Structure 1
């Protein structure tokens, strides 16, 4: 029971008065009886007032309870809870932070049937069609293991009081230059994958090309999968998106083959960026998209005593269609077909060149067609598998490129994934790839690959 300070003070005063009155009662012989009765009556009145106040306090409702603290999920013994609210350092109100990535380890056994992959070749870490050896003797089986495709990314997203949306994202992996040998440290440099900012419909920075359909990529153990026929490019761009439509101006790097043949060379000239456009549809049936690419190829190089100069430009372009078709609860088909000329840089990490150079130093854009199809089947909530075929073929003018240029590449792969619990994948994949040159020389590569992946 709670008693107010005023009430306590009055009780103390009455008690004091009673104490003072007692001597007066003891000396009643010298006081009149009437005065004593008046004092007793006054004390009784004050006591009755206090009793009434105490009864009123008991009948009053209890004070409101303090708000309960937010419920916190149970945390295993010895562990600290994950941050309950978004971290927003140096960010405006309404900003959330997201952190994501995965740890991926790959284990590969590779046999080149018509040559040998060089030590340290990129094709030892992932399937690279342009590096499939041709025209040689079969190699022994090579074993490789690494975790360089592990990645992490940090993003921020802001929604203002007026409804505007903005944010940024940066992501890294470790597929960079080797900083330590496999003898001891296996150290690799951190590599920039994505780095962009956006505001409402606009995006600026490095990310997937607008010409690429990321949602149509099949599930593969290999880093890319249908590499022979897939559009796969990340580069700097400025993009505008409105609903299902998007248009972008992208980095215009050009690859070319010297007159008469030779290795593919890069050129970073020209004032016009690559123009890409895309429109997509989606529903319960799946997704479908169509994309366009328009390029102004430019190669400029000063001549020497032994090599002619080059100063040429040519317009080139390509169209692509693709998507995902749901065939039921447990099956889907993913596919893509691309055709045009001067688009090789966008396919399979650069299988051949965008253009060839004639004797006068002019450009002759190389035509081609590329594509893939993949069937995905879910056997159970924890087991799924994929069957994927990919191919690209190019129309090379042999008089300009020579017979040693890649004419076609293709691969067939089958895999199975087991997910013992969410965010964890254990996979195995068997792949056979083939490469053929314009002169008829060819080569085949067989790879058995295992992977473990934990996403966060």
Structure 2
């Protein structure tokens, strides 16, 4: 058995807001000529966030629906819930990975702030196969901008983690993923399919979602195209939902880059973080329909010096049937105090402009410190 190594090595995982997460190699054991390596990674992140405007305070902006009315807000909050820890065990060609953060709910600001841990990733990799909970294959990780708001413009992004079976062959990725239809069109319907009548909605989630993605890498950056096919059989509807995503990271001058993604189709829960359920009631004719969403993000990152950089970003989304519309923009300044410690500030705005409600928005100012280990 080799001694414990305080070796810093890069972990081949892309994380929201951080393009690279470090890991400390804890232990290496040689068994029958094959090394088993155990490493610990993650980061500690402290946020100080002030929100002012018409939309209530949130730790990070998601496409929520705040009762369709202004909520006068002026609130400053401190939190560490984005902080995370992961464990990686690699034995030859087999890798196991588990990661948790602290957005699992619970806790309060009265005494102890005892936020519950939340499972983010738990998967196994063997050669070209990956099985377990991971980012959906439909999600273009390379297109995520570097932000201090957790995840940045969620409203324009493909964003989902779920259990899946994925096969990678060169630039191609194919996956079958967990099927889940969110909502059946009933007013107040919950995720479990129980509507206002209290009856369980008819549902068929026996067919996995299918995702295919092609990634093209070059010296100038990376482009990708993804397709999603899913069966939506609930609330009396039986349809096939199809959605597409095109995304890229383009290197410009020096270390600068442009990142973008565009999604369109019947992606439902995959896009815009809770903007819409899969099945809605068309207000024009009271018929149940599968909702379609168009969403996009665009970001430019500029390096002022080797460790100091800024990102300006914009994200937006709009649904077809209910005409819900969200947008989120921001600009930040970040600097690397050391190889593992970043600090910075970010100013931005989140807005809701749905059909039939008063347009509302809030500004936020956030300062963060991130220590990667």
User: Are the counterparts in 1 of residues 41 and 87 from structure 2 also a CA contact under 8 Å?
Assistant: yes
CA 1:407–1:94 in structure 2 vs 1: closer, same or farther (change >3 Å)?
same
Structure 2: distance between partners of 1:445 and 1:367: 26
What's the CA shift for 1:411?
1.3
Question: Which of these residues, 413, 416, 429, is aligned with residue 346 of structure 2?
Answer: 429
**Structure richer in strand, relative to its length:** 2
Structure 1: distance between partners of 2:140 and 2:25: 35
**Structure richer in helix, relative to its length:** 1
Q: Tell me the equivalent position of 2:96.
A: 168
Q: Are 2:21 and 1:101 aligned?
A: no
CA 1:271–1:90 in structure 2 vs 1: closer, same or farther (change >3 Å)?
farther
Q: Which runs of 4+ in 1 moved over 6 A?
A: 82-85, 89-92, 358-362
Structure 2: distance between partners of 1:126 and 1:204: 29
What's the CA shift for 1:257?
5.4
User: Are the counterparts in 1 of residues 181 and 205 from structure 2 also a CA contact under 8 Å?
Assistant: no
Q: Structure 2, unaligned stretches of length 5 or more? A: 7-22, 194-202
Q: Tell me the equivalent position of 2:255.
A: 330
Q: Tell me the equivalent position of 2:63.
A: 129
Q: Tell me the equivalent position of 2:241.
A: 316
Q: Tell me the equivalent position of 1:184.
A: 111
Report 1 or 2 for greater relative contact order, CA contacts < 8 Å, sequence distance ≥ 6: 2
Structure 2: distance between partners of 1:191 and 1:90: 33
Query: Could you report, residue by residue, the CA deviation over 1:308-328 in whole angstroms, capped at 9, with x for unpaired residues?
Result: xx3332111101000100012
| TM-score for the superposition, normalised by structure 1 | 0.70
What's the CA shift for 1:441?
2.6
CA 1:207–1:321 in structure 2 vs 1: closer, same or farther (change >3 Å)?
same
Q: Tell me the equivalent position of 1:112.
A: 53
Task: Tell me how large the CA RMSD over aligned residues is.
Answer: 2.7
Query: Could you report, residue by residue, the CA deviation over 1:388-422 in whole angstroms, capped at 9, with x for unpaired residues?
Result: 010011111xxxxxxxx561101110001011111
Structure 2: distance between partners of 1:218 and 1:84: 28
Q: Tell me the equivalent position of 1:20.
A: none
Paired residue secondary structure (2:64): helix
Q: Tell me the equivalent position of 2:138.
A: 211
Q: Tell me the equivalent position of 1:283.
A: 218
Matches within 5 A, 1:258-297: 258-259=185-186, 261-262=187-188, 265-267=191-193, 269-297=204-232
CA 1:89–1:446 in structure 2 vs 1: closer, same or farther (change >3 Å)?
farther
Matches within 5 A, 1:268-417: 269-299=204-234, 310-341=235-266, 343-357=267-281, 363-396=288-321, 407-417=324-334
Matches within 5 A, 1:221-232: 221-232=148-159
How many residues are treated as equivalent by the alignment?
Answer: 344
User: Are the counterparts in 2 of residues 153 and 169 from structure 1 also a CA contact under 8 Å?
Assistant: yes
What's the CA shift for 1:296?
0.1
Structure 2: distance between partners of 1:376 and 1:132: 31
Paired residue secondary structure (2:27): coil
Paired residue secondary structure (1:215): helix
- Select the structure of larger CA radius of gyration: 1
Q: Tell me the equivalent position of 1:54.
A: none
User: Are the counterparts in 1 of residues 210 and 228 from structure 2 also a CA contact under 8 Å?
Assistant: yes
CA 1:383–1:133 in structure 2 vs 1: closer, same or farther (change >3 Å)?
farther
Structure 2: distance between partners of 1:440 and 1:92: 66
Structure 2: distance between partners of 1:93 and 1:211: 34
Q: Tell me the equivalent position of 2:20.
A: none
User: Are the counterparts in 2 of residues 406 and 435 from structure 1 also a CA contact under 8 Å?
Assistant: no
Bigger shift: 205-214 or 194-203? Answer: 194-203
Q: Tell me the equivalent position of 2:365.
A: 448
Paired residue secondary structure (1:94): strand
What's the CA shift for 1:250?
0.7
Q: Structure 1, unaligned stretches of length 5 or more? A: 1-69, 74-81, 118-122, 160-164, 300-309, 397-404
Query: Could you report, residue by residue, the CA deviation over 1:120-168 in whole angstroms, capped at 9, with x for unpaired residues?
Result: xxx62211232456433x6241111110111010112222xxxxx2111
User: Are the counterparts in 1 of residues 101 and 118 from structure 2 also a CA contact under 8 Å?
Assistant: yes
Query: Could you report, residue by residue, the CA deviation over 1:406-453 in whole angstroms, capped at 9, with x for unpaired residues?
Result: 611011100010111111111111111111222143211111111110
